[in-house]
Amino acid sequence: MNMFLLSVIAFFFAIGVLVAIHEWGHYIVARMSGVKVLRFSIGFGKPLWLRRSGPDQTEYCLAAIPLGGYVKLLDEREGDVSPDEVHRTFNRAPISSRIAILLAGPFMNFIFAILAYWLMYSVGVPGLQPIVGAIEPTTIAGEAGLQKQDRIMVVGDQRVSTWEGAVLAILDEMLDSEQIRMEVQRIDGSQANVSMNVAGKVNELTEPGRLFTGLGLQPWAPDFEPVIGEVLADGSAAAAGLRAGDRVLLADDLPLATWAEWVEFIRANPGKDVMLTIERDGRNTDMTLLIGELTAEDGSIIGRIGAGPEVADGFYDQYLSRQQYPVFEALRAGVDRTWAMSMLTVKMVSRIVTGDVSVKNISGPINIAQAAGYSASIGLSSFLNFLAVVSLSLGILNLLPIPILDGGQVVYQILEAIKGGPLSMRVQLIGQQVGIVLLIIVMGFAFYNDLSRVFS
């Protein structure tokens, strides 16, 4: 499937599901609290589809702008209410009920994340073991004594078994102390402790795609020869006539000694026709290859041909780490992962506010769509991970004490309980205006970052 189309489909599916889950939380707790629900909407603006149902004739609709949703509750502050329904208004509900209704949306996002991680760990999560590759000697990693083919065992106090887990633990450790403490296993089997000092460099290192280059290390990759192994039927390698066993000698007259050099050449030339010289059955042959295109996770366009290296049977087994658990253990792993990701997200958000973490981490719909398509193209586990992360982000975002978000409305209810009466309409209006300005600023950063990634 075309990557753009896949990104669009995956994005709207993800947003539709996560918004529906969030709003269903508000909806179901409002009904349980006796508050009348007037409308349940996925999207904003003009309804494209609308149906009335139930004893209250609640409107269920899909609207034209699919970037959110809302549940409209009966409220005296938004219009006249008949005397026989006053007891069912949101503003007359007990403060505890109002807070429960407001928190139910973000709560459902956390529940969904647990379920997504649960399913992900039940299906199984493939990953590479955290083995260090090339080290630049004059960088943070090199000066700390990290060595090529060190296997990262522990980061801070967290034991890790995959590169993804190691990266999350590194970020967590970096945000906590500006020191990255590691326990590694050397290639000879000995143990070593390594500490990388990142004081004053957290902002730079938290820019998307800068962690490894900033630290001066790379994940380990085998030094395969440039010999074609698997060829995907729908890739540009197959279309050009490349076969398993072909050795790539030259690409546009550039000699290739390793598979890594071949991959680097492919990634750097998306959409280009290139001349290849290959060795096949002992004879050299020239051919033309049109390199395909792929949108990477960071939004950049890279080359892709749909071919892998020739690998001996069982080679990868010693470097892969598959996280797959029985049902109940998978649930516990899902809860643990949800907690860890929530805490990391809260730290990232708070450090963005203080300026310690790069604002380039704020993503808008373009980057989210690209990530949705990329994760969906990899497989179910990757897409479930994406859904869980976005769901957590949506839940945490809505808990921020900004007046037009759920968290801000909860603050209003708490102040009302302390004051003994509702805040004046003037105070609430000022709060709404401040909230709108803050959201516009955040969205401005998000769209700027999206467009910078696209056009950089």
Question: Do 215 and 147 reside in the same domain of the chain?
Answer: yes
Identify whether 215 is part of a domain.
yes
Residues 197 and 233 in one domain: no
**Nearest-5° angle of CA 61, CA 29, CA 327?**
95
Where does residue 126 rank: exposed (0-12), middle (13-18), buried (19+ CB within 10 A)? middle
Active site residues: 23
Same domain? 196 vs 182? yes
Q: How far is CA 413 from CA 38, 156, 161, 403, in A?
A: 21, 40, 44, 11
Indicate if 114 and 195 belong to the same structural domain: no
Residue 41 lies in a domain: no
280 and 267 together in one domain:
yes
Does residue 183 share a domain with residue 260? Answer: no
Instruction: Look at residues 191, 220, 249 and tell me which one is the last residue of a structural domain.
Output: 220
One domain, residues 115 and 10:
yes
**Domain total of the chain:** 3
331 residue type, one letter: L
Same domain, 179 and 291: no
**Rounded to an integer, what distance in angstroms lies between the CA atom of residue 102 and that of residue 409?**
7
Q: 187 and 104 in one domain? A: no
H helix and E strand count, the chain: 13, 16
Measured distance CA(91)–CA(70) in Å, rounded: 17
Global pTM?
Answer: 0.79
Q: Which of 183, 202, 220 is the last residue of a domain?
A: 220
CA pair distance 320, 165, nearest whole angstrom: 13
DSSP string, 53-113: ETTTTEEEEEEEEEEEEEEEE--GGGS---GGGGGG-TTTS-HHHHHHHHHHHHHHHHHHH
Q: Write phi, then psi, for 147 (nearest 5 degrees).
A: -125, 155
Q: Which amino acid is at 280?
A: R
CB contact at 8 A, 449 and 367 = yes
Q: Is residue 337 part of a domain?
A: no
Residues 119 and 161 in one domain: no
* pLDDT value at residue 265: 93
The verdict on residue 259 lying in a domain is yes
Phi, psi at residue 161, to the nearest 5°? Answer: -130, -5
- What does the block give as tokens for 45? 């603006």
CB 86 within 8 A of CB 353: no
Instruction: Please give the residue range of the domain that contains residue 25.
Output: 3-33+93-124+387-455
Give the CA distances from residue 226 to residues 123, 256, 265, 276, in Å, rounded to whole numbers and listed in that order.
Answer: 33, 7, 12, 12
Q: Say if residue 144 is in the same domain as residue 110.
A: no
Residue 134: CATH number of its domain: 2.30.42.10
- Kindly report the number of other CB atoms within 10 A of residue 41's CB atom: 21
Is position 76 within any domain?
A: no
Q: What share of the chain is helix, strand, coil (3-state, %, to 5)?
A: 50, 25, 30
CA distance 266 to 274: 10
Q: pLDDT 10s digit of each residue in the chain, 456 long? A: 566 777 778 888 888 899 999 999 999 999 999 999 999 999 888 889 999 998 889 999 999 888 788 999 999 888 888 888 899 999 899 999 999 999 999 999 999 999 999 999 998 888 888 888 888 888 999 899 899 889 999 998 889 988 888 888 998 888 888 889 999 999 888 999 999 998 888 888 888 778 888 898 888 877 788 899 888 888 889 999 999 999 999 999 899 988 888 999 999 999 999 999 999 988 999 999 999 888 766 667 888 898 888 877 666 666 777 788 899 999 999 999 999 999 988 888 888 888 777 777 777 666 777 777 778 777 888 889 899 999 999 999 899 888 888 999 999 899 989 988 887 878 878 887 887 787 777 777 666 665 566 555
pLDDT of residue 44: 87
Among 309, 340, 368, identify where a domain stops. 309
Tell me how far apart the alpha carbons of residues 69 and 22 are, in angstroms, rounded to a whole number: 9
Q: What integer pLDDT is reported at residue 450 of this predicted model? A: 59
